[in-house]
Amino acid sequence: MRQKKVRITIFPSKEIISVKRGANLLESLLSGNIPIESLCGGKGICGKCLVKVIRGNLSYQKPSSSILTDEQIKDGYRLACLSNVDEDVTLSIPYTKEIKTNKLTTFLFVQEKSLNPSVKKVFLELKEADLKNQISDWELIEKALAKKISLCPSLNGNLGKLREIPFKLRRSNYRSTIVLYENEFVTLEEGDTTNRQYGIAFDLGTTTIAGVLYDCVKGEIVIADAILNPQHSYGVDTISRINYAIQSKKNLNTLHSKIISGINQIINSLCKKAKINSNNVYEVVVTGNTTMTHLFLNLSPLGLSRIPFVPVIKNSVTINSKELGIKINENGKVFVFPNIGGFVGGDTVAMVLTTDMMHSRDFKLAIDIGTNGETVLGNKDRLLACSNAAGPAFEGAQIKFGMRATDGAIESVKIENDDLKVKVIGNIIPQGICGSGLIDVVSTLLKLGIINKSGRILNRKEIPDNVSDKIKKRVIEKQNGNEFVLVFRNQLSRHKKGIRLDTSVNLIKTENIVLTQKDVRELQLAKGAIAAGIKILMKELKVQEDDIQEVFLSGAFGNYINVDSAVTIGLIPRGLKDRVEFIGNSASSGALMALINYENKKRAEEISQFVKYVELGGRADFQNEFANSMHFIM
Angle (deg, nearest 10), helices 599-610 and 346-355: 110
Residue of 31, 315, 454, 459 interacting with its own copies (CB under 8 A) = 315
Q: Which residues are paired to 52 by β-bridges?
A: 77, 92
| Rounded (to 5) percent helix, strand, coil in the chain | 35, 25, 35
Question: Looking at 153-161, 277-285, 370-378, 444-452, which segment touches its own copies (CB under 8 A)?
Answer: 153-161
Tell me whether strands 317-320 and 333-336 are parallel, antiparallel or unpaired. antiparallel
Q: Does 1 sit near its own copies (CB under 8 A)?
A: no
Question: Looking at 172-180, 277-285, 377-385, 610-618, which segment touches its own copies (CB under 8 A)?
Answer: 610-618
Q: Does 109 sit near its own copies (CB under 8 A)?
A: no
Q: Does 501 sit near its own copies (CB under 8 A)?
A: no
Contact indicator for 294, 338 with CB cutoff of 8 Å: no
Q: Minimum CB separation from its own copies for residue 548, in Å?
A: 26
Residue of 153, 311, 345, 370 interacting with its own copies (CB under 8 A) = 311
Q: Does 151 sit near its own copies (CB under 8 A)?
A: no
Q: Minimum CB separation from its own copies for residue 503, in Å?
A: 43
Task: Give the distance from CA 176 to its chain's centroid.
Answer: 39
Residues 6+ apart with CB under 8 A from 476: 482, 483, 484, 485, 514
Using DSSP, state whether 535 is helix, strand or coil: helix
Q: Does 129 sit near its own copies (CB under 8 A)?
A: yes
Residue of 156, 240, 257, 452 interacting with its own copies (CB under 8 A) = 156
User: How far is the C-alpha of 456 from the C-alpha of 461, rounded, in Å?
Assistant: 14
Q: Does 73 sit near its own copies (CB under 8 A)?
A: no
Question: Looking at 186-194, 316-324, 439-447, 557-565, which segment touches its own copies (CB under 8 A)?
Answer: 316-324
Using DSSP, state whether 5 is helix, strand or coil: strand
| Interaction mask 209-228, its own copies, x per CB under 8 A | --------------------
Q: Minimum CB separation from its own copies for residue 119, in Å?
A: 15
Alpha-helix residue ranges (DSSP H) falling in 205-248: 238-245
User: How far is the C-alpha of 18 from the C-alpha of 365, rounded, in Å?
Assistant: 52
Q: Minimum CB separation from its own copies for residue 596, in Å?
A: 22
Question: Looking at 92-100, 275-283, 304-312, 588-596, which segment touches its own copies (CB under 8 A)?
Answer: 304-312
Cα 18–Cα 24–Cα 25 angle in degrees, nearest 5: 65
Nearer to its own copies, 85 or 297 (CB): 297
How many alpha carbons lie under 13 Å from residue 328 in its C-beta half-sphere?
29
Q: Minimum CB separation from its own copies for residue 625, in Å?
A: 18
Residue 355's closest CA among 370, 342, 338, 368? 368
Q: Minimum CB separation from its own copies for residue 318, in Å?
A: 5
Q: Does 359 sit near its own copies (CB under 8 A)?
A: no
Residues 6+ apart with CB under 8 A from 379: 357, 360, 361, 362, 363, 364
Tell me whether strands 89-92 and 5-11 are parallel, antiparallel or unpaired. parallel
Q: Does 346 sit near its own copies (CB under 8 A)?
A: no
Residue of 70, 139, 545, 621 interacting with its own copies (CB under 8 A) = 139
Q: Which residues are paired to 344 by β-bridges?
A: 341
Residue 343's closest CA among 369, 378, 315, 314? 314
Q: Minimum CB separation from its own copies for residue 31, in Å?
A: 25
Q: Does 138 sit near its own copies (CB under 8 A)?
A: yes
Q: Does 167 sit near its own copies (CB under 8 A)?
A: yes
Residue of 53, 126, 317, 415 interacting with its own copies (CB under 8 A) = 317
Question: Looking at 68-76, 292-300, 407-415, 456-464, which segment touches its own copies (CB under 8 A)?
Answer: 292-300
Residue of 42, 47, 342, 346 interacting with its own copies (CB under 8 A) = 342
Residues 6+ apart with CB under 8 A from 81: 24, 25, 26, 38, 40, 42, 43, 44, 49
| Interaction mask 414-443, its own copies, x per CB under 8 A | ------------------------------
Residue of 5, 55, 127, 170 interacting with its own copies (CB under 8 A) = 170
Nearer to its own copies, 130 or 578 (CB): 130
Q: Does 126 sit near its own copies (CB under 8 A)?
A: no
- Burial (CB < 10 A; 0-12, 13-18, 19+), residue 247, is exposed
Nearer to its own copies, 84 or 238 (CB): 238
Q: Does 134 sit near its own copies (CB under 8 A)?
A: yes
User: How far is the C-alpha of 285 from the C-alpha of 594, rounded, in Å?
Assistant: 7
Q: What is the DSSP letter of 49?
A: T
| Interaction mask 319-338, its own copies, x per CB under 8 A | xx--x---------------
Alpha-carbon torsion (12, 18, 19, 21), positive or negative: positive
Q: Does 263 sit near its own copies (CB under 8 A)?
A: no
Nearer to its own copies, 155 or 505 (CB): 155
Q: Minimum CB separation from its own copies for residue 298, in Å?
A: 6
Strand segments (E) across 76-195: 77-79, 83-85, 89-92, 119-125, 175-181, 184-190
For 497-523, give the DSSP string: GGS-HHHHTT---SS-EEEEHHHHHHH
Q: Minimum CB separation from its own copies for residue 528, in Å?
A: 23
Q: What residue ranges bind its own copies (CB under 8 A)?
A: 129-131, 133-139, 155-160, 162-163, 165-167, 170, 297-300, 302-303, 307-315, 317-320, 323, 341-342, 613, 615, 618
